[in-house]
Structure 1
Amino acid sequence: MFIRNEDFRSFLRYYPLVSILIAINLLLFVLIYLLGFQSLLQLGVGQNGLIARGEYWRLVTPIFLHGGFAHVLFNSFSLYLFGPALEQMLGKVKFLVGYFGAGLIANVAAFYLEDPYFSHVGASGAIFGLFGIYLYMAINRKELIDQANSQLILTILGIGLIMTFISPNINILGHLFGLIGGAVLAPLLLVGAKRFYSRPTVYARRTNPDEVSFNPNRWKYRRRVPPVVKKILWGFFIVLVIAGFLLR
């Protein structure tokens, strides 16, 4: 579920919403930090005092904004790793409801429970919402996720919660209520959901439409990486990404 085998074109084709969300994150980062459009950040930051004055769009806009390169990089990588499976399993509408619903719940909690001077940006609440959906799936919908992926999600989530409380400059309420929001929305979102399945890449379909997936034996001189080693390497990479996401 979390090992990405797609080429670029296949990823865009199969997971358009995840692709668009990542593109928006990166585009806004470029506009704000490289091209100098700081007004976009000022207009969208989740500042509690301004929200109390009626600028309610600030409950949503922080999901697209980030505090620097490391922030947007690790949030986008997390979305790249954990978003595709849910986009396929839930469908486009439910995926958007889960992502933005959890992010909105996290931001509303920060508004009511933090002081009037509190401000924040980042997709962390929405991404923790995805973890919340996976958590519910691992506990109550085990037919949708295998044991290995379930253990991986629980491990990453455990690390995430620990780092949330011991790392500085972390929106603790955003993480916690994003997770809770995703778990609360999960029972409705998972109605009619089907297990994730890997799709053939665009290259494989063009080479041989009858093949289910890319045949690595086309270049026999290339040494294949054993599947177990590949899973270990991907697992290690995912842990590094989520650690960077939490330690940014």
Structure 2
Amino acid sequence: MEVVETVVVLSADHELVGRQCVVCQKAFQPNDEVVVCPRCKTPHHGDCWREVGGCGSYGCPTVAVAVKKEKKGPEGDSHLLKRTPREKAMMAVGIIVALGLLAFALRPAPDPAAGRTKISIMVPGGIYETDYYEPFIDEFNSSQKELYLAFSVTPSIAYQQKLVVLLGARDAPDIFSLAEQQFRMFAANKALLDLTPYLEGHPELAARFFPNGTEPYSVDGGIYGVPHPARNEIFAIWALSPNPDTAWDVLVMLLDKINSDWPQELTGELIFEPWQIEIPGPGQ
């Protein structure tokens, strides 16, 4: 049967007071914690017994059972660095999986243009404008191998704010529409493409798209916009469009589409939010 040691707190008249600890050779004092080896009966200070892990008497095999040195917990986070090879391998696998999932989530979305020349178009409106334009755009994109139209309808309450942000970032759409006041501001700041060369080369387009003449759309001697056939929008092309000629061809196609079947319920005044931001020109 395994012998178990006990701790005794010495009273002032205890027989061990004055005797020496076998480990530290210091005399026992009243109120000291003392452990007497259950096998050889040698007295030890409690801390000395714990420190040596049992009896300190030479040749005695007794080891601490009940009175042991408490194991201190790891300080700080150093214990986290002491891992088994299996734990390290599992951590490495976990990190690799996490990085893989992150890379998958952040991968660029497939480019719908798929190598085709892309012309982006942005107009103000809502669900009704989307319902009008979307089938035409989808049919066009599905039938074209070299050209892709990226079309977006933005609510008029946020349209102009979004447009000026895109212009400032030099990421504006190739084609967009404006209210008259904003059109003139954009044109004066050289943010719009001068359409005069295209119209001079095709006078029939000028007659078709400008029934009331080009004067209202002229700024500083150039023509910078084409009126929407059915409401107070003016279509324009961004001055820094990477494909201005193609953008012009797309605008002509779009205006012909609007001329042919623009819905009666969408005809009228489009409300634009008041403009309070200075428009950056192409050189700013």
TM over 0.5: no
Which structure: larger Rg? 2
Q: Normalized per residue, which structure has more strand?
A: 2
Higher relative contact order (CA 8 A, sep 6+): 1
Q: Normalized per residue, which structure has more helix?
A: 1
Tell me the TM-score normalised to structure 2 length. 0.27
